[in-house]
Amino acid sequence: MGILLLPVYLILLPMLLGAAVAEEPKQPPLPLGMMLQMALFQLTGLPFVLLGRSMKELTIWVNIIYLSAGLFCFLHILKRGRLRSAGLGPRQRAPLILPLVFFLLLVFQLYQAVTLAPFDGDDAYYIAQSVATAEQGDLYRTIPYTGFATALDARHALAIFPLWIAFLSEMTGIHATILAHTLLPLFLIPLTYIVYGMIGQELLNRAGAADRQENRKASLWGFLILAELLMIFGAPSIYPASIFFLTRTWQGKSVLANLVLPMVCYIMLRIGRRREVLLKTGILLFCTNIAAALCTTMGVFLTALVIAGAGTALAIYHRSLRLLFRLFLCCIPCLLYAGLYVIL
């Protein structure tokens, strides 16, 4: 029965969190909520790691915070009357062949991700860390290669994505390796394409004139198909994001490159179109920076660089220092995290 909890943590809870911070009903709440959920886990789990607490204690407190946040967002949604379905864009007719091609390519990727077992040496650490945490109950106090006890691994301990997998394993009763290699790709791959669809929608909203309204839906499906083809055939070496996307889907560095950074790009596109940082957008960007820290140590530096570069360009274009200052406030987690990394 524990497997029934997996959609609760991966779909229902993010949907509630995302609907509460969505500025418009048409925004898909799932990827927005995933940024908030990952940020909540990072904020809760990092103190437990640094203080040497147990996985059992972390699980209890994470569930309390998730339940409280979900209930608060649910009441907020009811109060605002925004519990409505969201899509990737206007409900316009598009040639049936385009969504058909997209979903066929998506099913092909999901099938390959589940049935194949690509070799990756990093699993000797990351997946082993998740398994060790789930089975032994300590937080980064075990050497994954040997199983022996050790002091805090400061190099990896600040990015606790393996603990998130261990948490899901603990709650569902599914072995961490099976969860990471078989089940998480079924969720993370479609979620990534939702984010790409949001980016495509923003680009089309900026470029589309009134006489192009009827073609936007077809253009959006074409954009998504192009993204799929780049992912499937984008393998000139072992280093591109596309390789990580399909062969290391469950690793934090893959989630950063294919989900978190595209989400940052989407947020910056919205800010550029609106010419200001609205409250909910600021909250989302703030939490996305924390989610980047959950994925990998370099996440906070990369997201800060993207925000700094795009924010400077937007501030110059719109002649607004206030815009740049608000973006700086959203990057405070990156600065604090960098300081903590230097201290440890």
Report how far residue 306's alpha carbon sits from residue 203's, in angstroms, rounded to the nearest whole number.
18
Domain assignments of the chain as residue spans, ordered by start = 2-80+103-343
Angle at 170 between CA 53 and CA 249, to 5 degrees: 105
pTM, to two decimals: 0.90
Report how far residue 336's alpha carbon sits from residue 48's, in angstroms, rounded to the nearest whole number.
17
Q: Tens digit of pLDDT for each residue in 189-240? A: 999 999 999 999 888 876 554 446 657 788 889 999 999 999 999 877 777 8
C-beta separation of 14 from 66 below 8 A: no
Mean pLDDT for the stretch of residues 248-262: 92
Which residues is 138 bridged to in the sheet?
54
Higher pLDDT among residues 235 and 39, named by residue: 39
Q: Tens digit of pLDDT for each residue in 155-174? A: 778 889 999 999 999 999 99
Q: Tens digit of pLDDT for each residue in 89-130? A: 445 555 688 899 999 999 999 999 888 877 777 777 888 889
Mean pLDDT for the stretch of residues 283-301: 91
Mean pLDDT for the stretch of residues 135-145: 85
HSE of 231, CA atoms in CB hemisphere, 13 A: 28
